[in-house]
């Protein structure tokens, strides 16, 4: 099948080409010599002048609208250094502030002005860079990014990773905010408890729905003003060493639930001032051994059931029983003494009876002799 497509024939007739009016000066022999000299140098540049506001505007000839230089610094950069502020149209302000005098354009291509070849790109409009795949930027020395207004860095799906082999610093003249679980376009309204203000630091994990983990060898917290901790759930504090609370002001504690304290070691409590304790509930104290030393005691009790007093009364009763036992023992001893005296009296009575018998026998004997 023969396809015969009739293409329009090109016009090969010679016609004079008239370029549009240009703001650049007409080419002269001097400019042609300059172009030949440029081709022998270690740089090449493309220069697009800035917009001409009027016919007498000569600044647009030297001020770039867009400028691209490859290689060493060019003659146009060197000529711009002769006018005050001329290099600000070619180089970033932070680079100009770092260098001094002629080094601004001489080191523009690199630290070795005679050997370095660099790339200079500037424009008075926008610079756009787009890649369908990946973009790699690498520098063996400083990377300085400066914006006169905003800097937006967004990753739609993947993470953003920042790593350094040295220090990592974040500073701001206003607030520093770290938020997780938040949409970029979602407006955030801080709660009334958020007192970070316009120059504070706020760390918010998913609007309070996620956890925050902080770990370090030593953590030092210094608050020049007040400190408030508001916890909606449980609080657990585990200290595996000594704890010191040095409070230079008043301390208030409010327990709206039960209170449990366990001490498994010795303790010492000292109060150098008077204290006032009020208890409207029942206190139950179980003591194995209690030693109490008091210089003076004043107690005003309307009614009381004191187990200690009952214990003292039992001790007094035991003492009285002991005394009674002693008296019974003494009485038993006295009874023994009385029995000994009765035995002695019985012996004396028997002796008297014997003596009376002897006397009676003697009397009878004497009577028989007389008869």
What one-character DSSP code corresponds to residue 4? -
Terminal CA-to-CA distance of the chain, rounded, Å?
Answer: 213
Tell me how far apart the alpha carbons of residues 73 and 114 are, in angstroms, rounded to a whole number: 9
Cβ burial of 205 (10 Å; 0-12, 13-18, 19+) is middle
* Chain Cα centroid distance, residue 315: 60
Distance of alpha carbon 119 from alpha carbon 70, whole angstroms: 5
CA distance to 100, 113, 353, per residue, from 118 (Å): 19, 10, 159
Q: Residue 129 contacts by C-beta under 8 Å, 6 or more apart in sequence?
A: 135
Cα separation, 234 vs 257, whole angstroms: 13
Say which residue, 189 or 31, is predicted with more confidence.
189
> Containing H/E element for 202?
strand 201-205
Q: How far is CA 363 from the centre of its chain?
A: 130
Q: Which of 90-94, 185-189, 207-211, 262-266 has the highest mean pLDDT?
A: 90-94
Residue 166 tokens, joined: 């040295």
Tokens of 136: 């790699």
- The enclosing H or E element of 368 equals helix 307-370
Residue 273 pLDDT > 50, yes or no? Answer: yes
Q: Mean pLDDT across the stretch 34-60?
A: 68
Buried b (16+ CB within 10 A) or exposed e, 184-204: eeeeeeeeeeeeeeeeeeeeb
The better pLDDT of the pair 144, 308 is held by 144
- Report whether pLDDT(110) > 70: yes
Is residue 325 classed as helix, strand or coil in its secondary structure? helix
- Say how far apart CA 138 and CA 174 lie, in whole Å: 31
Main-chain dihedrals φ then ψ at residue 355, nearest 5 degrees? -65, -35
pLDDT reported for residue 16: 44
44 pairs with which residues across the strands?
70
Q: What pLDDT, in 10s, does the model give residues 218-253?
A: 989 888 888 888 888 888 999 999 999 888 988 888
DSSP 8-state class, residue 205: E
Sheet holding 118-123, edge to edge: 43-49, 64-71, 118-123
Report helix, strand or coil for 369. helix
For residue 8, pLDDT beyond 50: no
Highest mean pLDDT among 29-33, 184-188, 255-259, 326-330 belongs to 255-259
Given a contact cutoff of 8 angstroms between Cβ atoms, the answer to whether 355 and 363 are in contact is no
- The overall average pLDDT reported for the chain is 76
pLDDT tens-place string over residues 145-201: 999 888 888 888 888 899 889 988 988 888 888 888 877 666 677 778 788 888 888
- What pLDDT, on a 0 to 100 scale, did the predictor assign at position 128? 93
Query: Per-residue pLDDT tens for 278-309?
Result: 877 777 778 788 778 888 887 777 776 655 54
Q: Residue 283's pLDDT is what?
A: 77
Provide the 8-state DSSP code for 34.
Answer: H
Pick 339 or 247 by higher pLDDT.
247
User: How open is the CA angle 15-17-23, to the nearest 5 degrees?
Assistant: 165
Which is more confident, 24 or 346?
346
Q: What does the longest C-alpha to C-alpha distance in the chain come to?
A: 223
- pLDDT score recorded for residue 316: 54
Cα–Cα distance list, 276 to 155, 260, 262, 268, 302 (Å) = 63, 22, 24, 19, 18
Share of the chain above pLDDT 70, in %: 71
Q: Does the pLDDT at position 362 exceed 90?
A: no
For residue 53, pLDDT over 80 is answered with no
Q: How confident is residue 129, by pLDDT bands cut at 50, 70 and 90?
A: very high
Which pTM value belongs to this model? 0.55
Q: What is the pLDDT of residue 368?
A: 66
Q: Is the pLDDT of residue 30 over 60?
A: no
Looking at residue 67, its pLDDT comes to: 94
What's the CA gap between 201 and 176, in Å, rounded?
5
| Mean pLDDT, residues 35-48 taken together | 72
pLDDT at position 20, please? 40
């Amino acid at each position: 099948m023969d396809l015969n497509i009739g293409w329009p024939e090109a016009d090969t007739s010679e016609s004079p080409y008239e370029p549009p009016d240009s703001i650049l000066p007409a080419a002269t022999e001097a400019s042609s010599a300059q172009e030949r000299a440029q081709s022998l140098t270690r740089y090449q540049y493309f220069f697009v002048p800035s917009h001409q506001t009027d016919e007498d505007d000569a600044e647009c000839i030297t001020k770039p609208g867009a400028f691209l230089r490859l290689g060493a610094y060019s003659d146009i950069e060197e000529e711009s250094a002769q006018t005050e502020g001329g290099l600000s149209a070619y180089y970033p302000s932070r680079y100009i502030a770092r260098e001094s005098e002629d080094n601004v354009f001489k080191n523009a291509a690199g630290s070795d002005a005679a050997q370095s070849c660099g790339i200079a790109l500037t424009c008075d409009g926008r610079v756009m860079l787009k890649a369908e795949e990946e973009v790699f930027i690498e520098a063996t020395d400083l990377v300085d990014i400066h914006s006169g207004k905003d800097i937006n860095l967004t990753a739609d799906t993947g993470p953003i990773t920042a790593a350094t082999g040295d220090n990592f610093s974040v500073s701001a003249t206003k607030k520093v905010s770290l938020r997780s679980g938040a949409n970029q376009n979602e407006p955030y309204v801080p709660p009334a408890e958020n007192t970070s203000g316009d120059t504070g630091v706020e760390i918010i994990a998913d609007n309070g729905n996620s956890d925050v983990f902080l770990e370090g060898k030593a953590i030092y917290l210094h608050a020049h003003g007040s400190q408030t901790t508001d916890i909606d759930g449980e609080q657990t504090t585990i200290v595996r060493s000594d704890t010191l609370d040095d409070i230079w002001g008043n301390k208030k504690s409010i327990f709206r639930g039960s209170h449990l304290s366990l001490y498994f070691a010795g303790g010492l409590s000292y109060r150098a001032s008077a204290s006032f304790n009020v208890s409207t509930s029942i206190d139950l104290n179980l003591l194995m051994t209690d030693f109490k030393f008091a210089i003076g005691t004043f107690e005003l009790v309307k009614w009381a059931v004191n187990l200690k007093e009952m214990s003292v009364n039992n001790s007094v009763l035991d003492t009285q029983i002991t005394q009674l036992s002693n008296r019974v023992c003494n009485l038993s001893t006295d009874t023994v003494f009385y029995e000994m005296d009765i035995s002695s009296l019985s012996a004396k009575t028997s002796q008297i009876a014997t003596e009376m018998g002897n006397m009676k026998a003697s009397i009878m004997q004497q009577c028989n002799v007389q008869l």
